[in-house]
Structure 1
Amino acid sequence: MLKPSDKTRAAARRGRKMPTPVEVHFWGLLRDRRLEGLKFRRQFPLGPYVADFACPSLRLIVELDGGVHVLRAESDAARDAWLSANGWTVLRFDNAAVLRNPAVLFEEIRRHAGLESTD
Structure 2
Amino acid sequence: MPRTHQELLARAKWMRSNPTPAEARLWYNLRANRFEAVKFSHQVVIFPYIADFVARSQKFVIEVDGDTHADDGAYDTRRTAWLEHQGYRVIRFTNADVMNNLDGVLETISVALGTAPLPDPLP
TM-score by length of 2: 0.85
Instruction: Tell me whether 1:56 sits opposite 2:30 in the alignment.
Output: no
Which residue identity is paired with 2:93? F
Residue ranges of structure 2 left out of the alignment (5+ in a row): 116-123
Aligned to 2:44: 44
**Superposition deviation, residue 33 in structure 1:** 1.3
CA deviation string 1:28-80 (max 9, x = no partner)? 12211111111100001101100011110111110001111110111111111
Counterparts of 2:11 and 2:38, CA distance in 1: 24
Residue ranges of structure 1 left out of the alignment (5+ in a row): none
Query: What is the CA RMSD across the aligned residues, in angstroms?
Result: 1.4
Moved over 3 A (4+): none
Counterparts of 1:90 and 1:61, CA distance in 2: 5
TM-score by length of 1: 0.87
Query: What SS does the aligned partner of 1:37 have?
Result: coil
Counterparts of 2:23 and 2:45, CA distance in 1: 16
Instruction: Tell me whether 1:71 sits opposite 2:87 in the alignment.
Output: no
Aligned to 2:112: 112
Aligned to 2:102: 102
Aligned to 1:92: 92
Aligned to 1:29: 29
Instruction: Tell me whether 1:15 sits opposite 2:15 in the alignment.
Output: yes
Task: Give identity over the alignment, percent.
Answer: 37
Q: Number of aligned pairs?
A: 112
**Superposition deviation, residue 95 in structure 1:** 0.7
Which residue identity is paired with 2:100? R
**Superposition deviation, residue 8 in structure 1:** 1.5
